Structure 1
Amino acid sequence: MLDFRPATITFGRYTQYYSLRQKVKNKYIDLIEQTFDFPQPEFSVSNHELRFHDIPLMDLVKQYGSPLKVTYLPKITENILRAKEYFGTAIRKSGYKGKYYYCYCTKSSHYSFVLREALKNDIHIETSSAFDINIVESLAKKGLISKTNHILCNGFKMPDYIRNIANLINAGFSNTVPIFDNIEEPDSLAPLLQKPCDVGIRIASEEEPKFTFYTSRLGIGYQDIVPFYKEKLKDNPKFRLKMLHFFINTGISDSAYYWNELAKSVRVYCELKKVCPELNSLNIGGGFPTKNTLGFAYDYQYMVDEIIHQIKTMCNAEGVPEPDIFTEFGSFTVSESGAHIFSIKAQKRQNDRERWDMIDSSFMTNLPDSWAINSKFILLPINNWDKEYERVLLGGLTCDSDDFYNAEQHVNAIFLPKTSKESPLYIGFFHTGAYQDSIGGVGGLQHCLIPNPKHVIINKTQDGSFTSELFMEEQKPEDVLRILGY
């Protein structure tokens, strides 16, 4: 029979006691440290409370309450500079002859503070609708953007979008580049132009086999690019074809599908360049992934090195000068700057296995991608890292059965510190800065009339301290009733 009493071991004059029982590590901090390499550059724990880029999040909760949306502006600049360094390094290593231009995809987040921060870094922008052009004009009036910045105009262009693009070009924004999405757009734009302009063509890429359709609805088919140029652009004095654009819906990934689509697009570029000497730019779109789990791993530099190498190799083989490279990073620019903070208001035990932690807002309205396309975000508690953890489900406040969050990216479960009345639990969803507000309809009607939360902007001063600014108050009843006509 095994004896589990403490064993006594004597070493000379010292006596030490060892228990054969191992201490069970069941605190939340133990779970994270055993599962991931932690702390990480943007996450750390101090006094059992989470810090995001060294920001003490519980201090924000105490000042502003919850639910709360947070934007950390310095992360936007950090990611822009990262991407520029990746491409700069790849160009230097390979001896690539073309230049690199970083464009921000405005549809990821149209907020003025996002554009102000991004434009500090000598970048350009990509638009997708008529109102985007009004934003460009507003930025120009404030001196935040100049008439020499590249404005790449993507998307299917309705008459108001075409008209706004023409107005921008006629006003002297010389690097405004309408990128034709269909064969009718040149006929609509040309009569409105008072001067010639540079233009681009978007390639309709083929989709992955998992899609229910073969070809993207956006752009013009591979086989139609050269005929379209010859028929609509070559002899039109209003247009100079400068750019070929393509975008892979699933992003920039080290997969046979991505490399095949890149190769096809470069081949089209080389074919087009031979009949259009003015062509000098290849726009490879966006698609850099963002960190959505603590276990995230992606070799950005390798991917950029390989992209530049393949473009250079194919162009050299065809005897075509290497093009300037444009990217349109949206989520990569702004996603990792955002966070949503909620409090756990109660726990509902529905049966012997399921515990529902109820948040003080809604997933459907705050994080619509979490239910619409099953996106996952980094989920961590803000406090109580020294408490025991348990498996839970997370429920939102709406009456909709889809208003829940039940799985982390790395495991089909959620583990959080146990809740108690004595120490209420706050949780954060991180890297939520792209698309969620515009898809959720910030400032408008939300499902079950759940109000938009407060929105706080965090910046960092030169001495390393943080400043916070309340950008938007929580939505009030009168705001909603006004929309509804009451």
Structure 2
Amino acid sequence: MNTKYIDLINQTFDFPQEEFKVDKGQLHFHGIDLMQLTKQYGAPLKFTYLPQISNNINKAKKWFANAIEKHDYKGNYNYCYCTKSSHFKHVLNEALKNNIHIETSSAFDIDIVERLKAEGKITDDAFIISNGFKRAQYITNIARLINNGHKNAIPIIDNYEEIDLLSKEIDGKFNVGIRIASEEEPKFEFYTSRLGIGYKNIVPFYKNQIANNEKVELKMLHFFINTGIRDNAYYWNELLKCLKVYTSLKKICPTLDSLNIGGGFPIKNSLAFEFDYEYMIDEIVNQIKLTCEEEGVEVPNIFTEFGSFTVGESGGAIYEVLYQKQQNDREKWNMINSSFITTLPDTWAINKRFILLAVNRWQDSYERVLLGGLTCDSDDYYNSEQHMNAIYMPKYNKDKPLYIGFFNTGAYQETIGGFGGLQHCLIPSPKHILIDRDEDGNITTKLFSEQQKSEDLLKILGYDMPQKVKTEKEVLETTETYY
């Protein structure tokens, strides 16, 4: 009988796969021996495999290049990375190796851009696309970037007041884009996105606020839908509506030359995952060209903003199963040495599923289990996979430690979970490892951050306050010394 865990995976999926293989009963990820990594650094741990960021960027660039050549498309393609997916410097450093552009969503993003410019990682040729509802500091930071000479900064207008706010702080002429407030799928609780300006209002908005404004030039129309790029009637219908707006605007606005189709490429969330990226890109380019030809306007330069697609498949987390609790006749709880709520918050907040595999003991028999986290919250669990309504793991054995891995977790989890901050039930953030390859292709690892200690959390909570209350004189002396 085929009762081993490796038999289950082989029978259920086409396995091994590009990034996963098993050697001597242990899982390897992109050639990385995960048990060796775990023995070296301990568990729980998170890791970022940096080369995968460049791999995905260059895949998308190649797909667009192929489609542009195939359809004799006269516009250019520009790949933008959405910093909100992961703001970490090691992520931006890796992404910027590939001649890409940046999409921002808040005031502090501009500070990051300026730091990277000072280090020579970003040049004035890079496009900085600024999305989001813009409060005062965001406006000020965008204006500072443009006033300091970054002419390829394009704030995307999200509401009717932003043109005036930007004009007051930017010296001279500047370029803008307009975001379309797309209509949502019927399953949503609302009909139209809160972001952007409605389809029917965009041409009047251009005529009223931009057409006769000597300071402002419209360069870009921005299109994005929450559910992302999917091969379904809803996506194609919204794209065609967007293209109708673009061609209508282009006829009265010669400076308009770019269409930003946003992002939302899915990433692999199961060993059974299938998505024809190349077909989707080919058809998007084809539809843009056909619509422009029918309306007699030039095709636009194409921009995309890929966040999760850029960084998601670079991340992973490894936990140890501490104990098994048999709660009734059917349910066995494998308790991990961390928390899903704190380290993989999307599993709790939006019921997101990641690739889950045992790291070791692939030659052992398996059992159906539930996975529980360490917090005292009843929602701190993981109970099923994308491809089946259960989780199967090698059988628990207290004398044979079991390690499990979650993969493609590189987008949003650190920022949503609050990296370096307080966590639910004061569960510490795990250590984080950066994995790279040297010039010879050899794997290198580096400790990015240690697991949080009690002192770190107590400091945030205010428990490290000085035992002695300073006198007024001592406070003044300290202040004088500081200044």
C-alpha distance in structure 1 between counterparts of 2:214 and 2:43, whole Å? 58
User: Aligned residue for 1:137?
Assistant: 114
1:422 Cα deviation after fit: 2.1
5 Å-filtered alignment, 1:80-229, equals 80-229=57-206
Q: Tell me, what secondary structure is at the counterpart of 1:216?
A: coil
User: Aligned residue for 1:330?
Assistant: 307
User: Aligned residue for 1:238?
Assistant: 215
- Judge which range, 357-366 or 186-195, deviates more: 186-195
Pick one of 316, 337, 343 that aligns with 1:366. 343
- Judge which range, 157-166 or 189-198, deviates more: 189-198
Tell me if 1:293 matches 2:265: no
C-alpha distance in structure 1 between counterparts of 2:183 and 2:34, whole Å? 44
C-alpha distance in structure 2 between counterparts of 1:287 and 1:452, whole Å? 28
Q: Which ranges in structure 2 are unaligned for 5 or more consecutive residues?
A: 464-483
C-alpha distance in structure 1 between counterparts of 2:151 and 2:48, whole Å? 33
Asked if the contact 1:108/1:435 (under 8 Å) is kept, the reply is yes
User: Aligned residue for 2:423?
Assistant: 446
1:29 Cα deviation after fit: 0.2
Q: Tell me, what secondary structure is at the counterpart of 2:420?
A: coil
Q: How many residues align?
A: 463
Asked if the contact 1:109/1:334 (under 8 Å) is kept, the reply is yes
Pick one of 1, 11, 16 that aligns with 1:39. 16
User: What do you get for the CA RMSD once the two structures are aligned?
Assistant: 0.6
User: Aligned residue for 1:52?
Assistant: 29
In the superposition, the TM-score normalised over structure 2's length comes to 0.95
C-alpha distance in structure 2 between counterparts of 1:32 and 1:245, whole Å? 42
Q: Tell me, what secondary structure is at the counterpart of 1:393?
A: strand
User: Aligned residue for 2:287?
Assistant: 310
Letter in 2 for 1:298: F
C-alpha distance in structure 1 between counterparts of 2:99 and 2:50, whole Å? 16
CA displacement, residues 359-400 of structure 1 (integer Å, 9 cap, x when unaligned): 000000111110111100000000000000000000000111
1:72 Cα deviation after fit: 0.1
CA displacement, residues 68-104 of structure 1 (integer Å, 9 cap, x when unaligned): 0000000000000000011000000011111000000
1:421 Cα deviation after fit: 2.2
User: Aligned residue for 1:483?
Assistant: 460
Q: Tell me, what secondary structure is at the counterpart of 2:342?
A: helix
User: Aligned residue for 2:469?
Assistant: none
Q: Tell me, what secondary structure is at the counterpart of 2:364?
A: coil
Q: Tell me, what secondary structure is at the counterpart of 1:71?
A: strand
1:296 Cα deviation after fit: 0.5
Letter in 2 for 1:447: H
C-alpha distance in structure 2 between counterparts of 1:464 and 1:115, whole Å? 21
C-alpha distance in structure 2 between counterparts of 1:411 and 1:73, whole Å? 30
- State the percentage of identical aligned residues: 65
CA displacement, residues 304-323 of structure 1 (integer Å, 9 cap, x when unaligned): 01000001000000001000
1:238 Cα deviation after fit: 1.8
Asked if the contact 1:193/1:238 (under 8 Å) is kept, the reply is no
Letter in 1 for 2:198: G
Letter in 1 for 2:82: C
C-alpha distance in structure 1 between counterparts of 2:384 and 2:216, whole Å? 51
C-alpha distance in structure 2 between counterparts of 1:464 and 1:98, whole Å? 36
1:335 Cα deviation after fit: 0.2
5 Å-filtered alignment, 1:389-428, equals 389-428=366-405
C-alpha distance in structure 1 between counterparts of 2:209 and 2:293, whole Å? 29
Asked if the contact 1:348/1:355 (under 8 Å) is kept, the reply is yes
Q: Tell me, what secondary structure is at the counterpart of 2:197?
A: coil
Asked if the contact 1:359/1:396 (under 8 Å) is kept, the reply is yes
C-alpha distance in structure 2 between counterparts of 1:421 and 1:405, whole Å? 21
User: Aligned residue for 2:41?
Assistant: 64
Q: Tell me, what secondary structure is at the counterpart of 1:379?
A: strand
Asked if the contact 1:379/1:430 (under 8 Å) is kept, the reply is yes
User: Aligned residue for 2:442?
Assistant: 465
In the superposition, the TM-score normalised over structure 1's length comes to 0.95
Letter in 2 for 1:454: K
Letter in 2 for 1:353: R
C-alpha distance in structure 1 between counterparts of 2:296 and 2:447, whole Å? 56
Q: Tell me, what secondary structure is at the counterpart of 2:181?
A: coil
User: Aligned residue for 2:476?
Assistant: none
User: Aligned residue for 1:4?
Assistant: none
Q: Tell me, what secondary structure is at the counterpart of 2:193?
A: coil
